[in-house]
Structure 1
């Protein structure tokens, strides 16, 4: 009997020891690997997230990056962002490495806040849903489709400026720019043109965008909580639209090829399965965010810089008026007109360099690997920053100077100008955004000159750069406005 007790005791001790080993191994610190990049992990759970986000709220998102590059004398440093161990990759060489190793060493990653705000994506994952979305998009973003959109964009722009800008002494640019790009997205993705219908989504989408990249604390009053509520509201509205479109397709009052919504409803996957209404609502939700938020920020900052730089404004004005004078009464912009807007696009690119709507993005390490002499463990999150090259004097001499000539000829060196990302995950809507930005520039410049009401208005980044007061400007209509 004594031997039995001893055997049981030894077995129990062995079990406890093994359990403790497994627990320790499973939950060992992600920072316990040798040869990690330099850096600090900050506070428990939140890490350095508050400083990362607060430098943006203060209008200098690049400060988080450049302070650490200087402190550690390294273009790679470790930290903890949004509750995850992370390595921040800075500079063209890092961009090239990450963009070139997509789905080899690294893959896309979104914070938990994204899965909470887009809950139906949890049936698979945000990454899988994104892959499906990218398969659906090419038909609607191929050159011949984009060429058809120009006239639609121009028509909406004309209605937008007539209702929101004309006969007004002052306007706030940012909310108007959001209205313009959102109206276009609603029209092209869902065939919704009624401004009142579009307006119902405006404020919820603002909360949604702020909640996507936030600390995932679901308490009343937090950006995350507001984002979840906004997502639920928008999804319900989208489901009403989807149900009505099904009816319209059934009775022939809607076309199978009229927009992305019809295509999603009528297209099955390889196994013959059609997307559920909730899946479609989530995908349309993601498209509406991507299809208007970044372009509206770009349009706003174009107005800002043209107000501050009259000599740049004059050159853009001359280019756009030459196009405007070549058009017959009522004739819409077309592809050839867009191709003539070379200087205007150089100006837009310089705005995207100085105020990139996409500040950066996350990846996740698929395997342990070594880069630039540092170990990066499997599962770590990797963050690349647009500002790490956009505002680097080695990439762009006098980086704070506004100089559209940087984009003449061959333009910037590879992997230095990355407002749309790069590699296989480069923004698929890049050309779409170019069109709506240039259509906006044409319509605002042929109508007005303007000046800022608040000369030193603060810029905040949450999660994109926006003027704190919405960029109020005083309008001066051209006497010869067409």
Structure 2
């Protein structure tokens, strides 16, 4: 009897140990899904879906198969895909367990000391410096520079042309605005950067295998050349600051160089350089895409076009012909910005993004291990009919009352404590560009094919060629 009781107790103990071990085994607590082939995983499938404009379908198929939480491998890292407002809040607010991260390919191309990679005090220090320059109070005085660059671009590239390809045009426009306001680089000196910048962008989302003739390899080489040129710019601005030939608020680079070490704000040379490259990428591509799809939409929506035109004509009436727009003028462009927001809701400029897991964390009952990455997607919540009624319908009035949009549901610029610091800059650039496009030009689409691909950002077929008619001089 005693031996039977001892055997029973031993069996009970073994079962308990087994259950505890099973419960604590990370592999049994991971989300459903497959990691696939190491390093590559599902990267090629996602990239192909984006380039065939079926990225949203690819995401929705994954949700149907595994639910709103699943694991996979993307761009060299084991990844957990999360979706929905609750997941968005977790992703954009969990600064203690999640850090900003982009694919390894982007990190290696841009540099490891940019704000998308930094954590803790370093992130706070660098983000604080950049955010100060980009906040509305500081941006007010840069509206004039933005105005002058946009007028120059439209005068040079639109006024004497019967046809314009909008996406390349808008990329050139935003690149020049960035060079002027962020870097303080004069027009003649920018040409060195233009071609290398285009090459650098091609490998941002790619498998990070550095083999000759791959997009990743070409992007790395282009990034190296850009960094050399920007290093020259930084050295020249540092010299000018020491000689008193420049003020600290002329552009972002000069401002970052002028920060003192007495209050712990100083940025290293690497941090200034890496974040300069990041801002060049972030400030160039997304705004160009918003403007491109806004032009496309207005060509097909005469009612919205008429409302925007009326808003801008009212502003133009009180301006002298050569008078630049001001910050106060931008505050009057409320309907225009609602249209831009609806463009970003229906066609997010950024397909998704990543966070790096800096310590084991649980979400939805699953374990997300340290060292993995979290992947989020914007279109899932943007097109959720429980959040946005009739999500397929283009309706700028959704944004009349921002308070009625639930938190973490519109994430074109991210959300929470790490919302994009360039939000106000992008808004100002968009509004100034729209003002001069609608008041000085008319356009119609040359290409009736309204489809687009993602590579990785949305790009209309043929660059969206339009016929141009000049209404008034710039």
Using structure 1 for the length normalisation, give the TM-score.
0.87
- Structure-2 residue corresponding to 1:422: 415
Number of aligned residue pairs: 447
- Structure-2 residue corresponding to 1:379: 371
CA distance in 2 between counterparts of 1:77 and 1:252 reads 56
- Structure-1 residue corresponding to 2:56: 62
> Any residues of structure 2 matched to 1:438-457 within 5 Å, and which?
438-457=431-450
> Any residues of structure 2 matched to 1:331-342 within 5 Å, and which?
331-342=323-334
Whether the 8 Å contact between 2:99 and 2:356 is mirrored in structure 1 is yes
Report the CA distance shift for 1:42/1:397 in structure 2 as closer, same or farther (over 3 A). Answer: farther
Out of 318, 322, 334, the residue aligned to residue 330 of structure 1 is 322
- Structure-2 residue corresponding to 1:20: none
1:306 aligns with 2:298: yes
1:152 aligns with 2:145: yes
Whether the 8 Å contact between 1:183 and 1:193 is mirrored in structure 2 is no
Report the CA distance shift for 1:120/1:428 in structure 2 as closer, same or farther (over 3 A). Answer: closer
CA distance in 2 between counterparts of 1:291 and 1:389 reads 24
1:359 aligns with 2:351: yes
- Structure-2 residue corresponding to 1:99: 92
- Structure-2 residue corresponding to 1:349: 341
Q: Secondary structure at the match of 1:63?
A: helix
Whether the 8 Å contact between 2:125 and 2:265 is mirrored in structure 1 is no
Q: Deviations over 1:161-200 (max 9, x none)?
A: 1001112110011111111111111111222231x42233
Q: Deviations over 1:372-420 (max 9, x none)?
A: 2323223321111111111222222332221111111235222111000
CA distance in 2 between counterparts of 1:55 and 1:395 reads 25
Whether the 8 Å contact between 2:102 and 2:117 is mirrored in structure 1 is no
1:131 deviation in Å? 4.3
- Structure-1 residue corresponding to 2:219: 227
CA distance in 2 between counterparts of 1:360 and 1:385 reads 4
Report the CA distance shift for 1:449/1:107 in structure 2 as closer, same or farther (over 3 A). Answer: same
Report the CA distance shift for 1:44/1:305 in structure 2 as closer, same or farther (over 3 A). Answer: same
Q: Deviations over 1:213-235 (max 9, x none)?
A: 22101112222111101101101
- Structure-2 residue corresponding to 1:432: 425
CA distance in 2 between counterparts of 1:270 and 1:51 reads 50
1:324 deviation in Å? 1.0
CA distance in 1 between counterparts of 2:170 and 2:153 reads 9
Report the CA distance shift for 1:459/1:428 in structure 2 as closer, same or farther (over 3 A). Answer: same
Q: Secondary structure at the match of 2:28?
A: coil
- Structure-2 residue corresponding to 1:23: none
1:288 aligns with 2:280: yes
- Structure-1 residue corresponding to 2:45: 51
CA distance in 2 between counterparts of 1:346 and 1:309 reads 15
Deviates more, 1:175-184 or 1:435-444: 175-184
- Structure-1 residue corresponding to 2:27: 33
Q: Secondary structure at the match of 2:463?
A: coil
Q: Secondary structure at the match of 1:245?
A: helix
Whether the 8 Å contact between 2:81 and 2:375 is mirrored in structure 1 is yes
CA distance in 1 between counterparts of 2:61 and 2:200 reads 30
- Structure-1 residue corresponding to 2:9: none
CA distance in 2 between counterparts of 1:165 and 1:269 reads 46
Report the CA distance shift for 1:241/1:95 in structure 2 as closer, same or farther (over 3 A). Answer: same
1:271 deviation in Å? 8.5
Q: Secondary structure at the match of 1:201?
A: helix
